[in-house]
């Protein structure tokens, strides 16, 4: 099974937000009202029912005005902090194609994954008390369709496919940009989480923060330890009803789900 990925060429994104709507529509999320905070951004942040956010970052640079529009969502890390942190077996799974997916039947709403995520992506729903995030449209990709955001993107700034191929494509686009005078152009594929299945082409890869992307994301120390001997401490704080979980963990440790290819 090939690892899949999404490539976001930020130099082609026009901030049209079509992907925001497509994401909500496909995932049956009810529309709400946007929150005005003095920018063009729809919401201040991701939400349990809003998994795909275009961040608008405006600033003056030496070369003139810069208004960066960057798609933000789950990065589908190779080494997912959320999965490491999750105490509920089967609640977070990593499919063989690399997609990190949540299985809400198993989610216990502890919110540990939120702490574990170096990109601050998962969100707890106050209504269902479960945690939600982008699934890279695992239900679409399972039947050979591309994720909803990719299907809708008008500029082809988003592409979906085999990770190796997209990584090559990203590198060659970065090279083109460098040849075009953008000396710092590069690919965002942070190694602190083992690389991500969401790849970005940035005009200036030395400054991902300008796009609202963390510079050197790593799994928080507490979560890294959580994987080690301290894990049982935290687990003990959970209510009795999930003791089964605890025992499961003690026996098998956190695991990567190798289950069905849907």
Which residues of the chain form contacts with another protein (CB under 8 A)?
Answer: 11-18, 20-21, 24-25, 31-40, 42, 58-60, 64-69, 154-157, 176, 180
Write the DSSP symbol of residue 182. Answer: -
Instruction: Check binding of 148 to ligand SF4 (CB under 6 A).
Output: no
Q: Which of 88, 153, 174, 202 binds ligand SF4 (CB under 6 A)?
A: 153
Instruction: Check binding of 202 to ligand SF4 (CB under 6 A).
Output: no
Dist. CA 228–CA 246, nearest whole Å = 14
Q: State in angstroms the smallest separation of the CB of 80 from ligand SF4.
A: 23
Dist. CA 159–CA 9, nearest whole Å = 9
Q: State in angstroms the smallest separation of the CB of 134 from another protein.
A: 18
Say if residues 170 and 197 touch (Cβ distance below 8 Å).
no
Instruction: Check binding of 46 to ligand SF4 (CB under 6 A).
Output: no
Q: State in angstroms the smallest separation of the CB of 12 from another protein.
A: 5
Half-sphere exposure of 247 (CA within 13 A, CB side): 5
Burial class, 109, CB count within 10 angstroms (exposed 0-12 / middle 13-18 / buried 19+):
middle
Q: State in angstroms the smallest separation of the CB of 119 from ligand SF4.
A: 17
Dist. CA 34–CA 45, nearest whole Å = 11
Phi (first) and psi of residue 54, to 5 degrees: -90, 120
Binding partner of residue 242 among another protein, ligand SF4, none, CB under 5 to 8 Å per kind?
none
Instruction: Check binding of 155 to ligand SF4 (CB under 6 A).
Output: yes
* Nearest alpha-carbon partner for 98 in 27, 189, 195, 219: 195
What's the distance, CA 42 to chain centroid?
A: 18
Binding partner of residue 19 among ligand SF4, another protein, none, CB under 5 to 8 Å per kind?
ligand SF4
Instruction: Check binding of 133 to ligand SF4 (CB under 6 A).
Output: no
Q: State in angstroms the smallest separation of the CB of 148 from another protein.
A: 13
Number of residues that bind ligand SF4 (CB under 6 A): 14
Which residues fall within 8 angstroms of residue 141, CB to CB, at 6 or more apart?
4, 97, 99, 147, 160
Nearer to another protein (CB atom), residue 175 or residue 216? 175
Q: Which stretch binds ligand SF4 (CB under 6 A): 154-162, 200-208, 209-217, 254-262?
A: 154-162
Nearer to another protein (CB atom), residue 12 or residue 114? 12
Q: Contacts with ligand SF4 in 5-34 (CB under 6 A)?
A: 13-19
Q: State in angstroms the smallest separation of the CB of 157 from ligand SF4.
A: 5
Neighbours of 201 (CB within 10 A): 25
173: left (phi over 0), alpha (psi -120 to 50) or beta: alpha
Instruction: Check binding of 158 to ligand SF4 (CB under 6 A).
Output: yes
DSSP bridge pairs for 47: 50
Q: Which residues bind ligand SF4 (CB under 6 A)?
A: 13-19, 54, 71, 152-153, 155, 157-158
């Amino acid at each position: 099974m090939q690892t899949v990925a999404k490539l976001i060429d930020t130099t082609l994104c026009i901030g049209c937000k079509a992907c925001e709507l497509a994401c909500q529509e496909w995932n049956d999320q009810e529309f709400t009202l946007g929150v005005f905070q003095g920018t063009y951004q729809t919401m201040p942040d991701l939400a349990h029912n809003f998994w795909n956010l275009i961040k608008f970052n405006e600033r003056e640079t030496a070369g003139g005005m810069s208004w960066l529009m960057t798609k933000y969502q789950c990065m589908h890390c190779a080494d997912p902090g959320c999965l490491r942190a999750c105490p509920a077996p089967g609640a977070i799974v990593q499919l063989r194609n690399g997609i990190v997916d949540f299985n809400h039947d198993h989610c216990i709403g502890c919110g540990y994954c939120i702490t574990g995520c170096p990109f601050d992506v998962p969100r707890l729903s106050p209504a269902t008390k479960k945690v939600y995030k982008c699934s890279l449209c695992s239900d679409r990709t399972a039947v050979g369709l591309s994720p909803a955001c990719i299907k809708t993107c008008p500029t082809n700034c988003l592409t979906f496919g085999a990770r190796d191929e997209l990584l090559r494509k990203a590198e060659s686009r970065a090279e083109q940009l460098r040849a075009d005078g953008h000396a710092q152009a590069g690919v965002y594929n942070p190694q602190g989480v083992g690389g991500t299945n969401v790849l970005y082409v940035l005009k200036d890869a030395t400054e991902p923060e300008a796009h609202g992307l963390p510079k050197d994301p790593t799994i928080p120390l507490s979560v890294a330890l959580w994987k080690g001997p301290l894990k049982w401490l935290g687990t003990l704080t959970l209510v009795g009803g999930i003791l089964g979980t605890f025992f499961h963990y003690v026996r098998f440790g956190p695991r990567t789900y190798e289950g069905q290819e849907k």
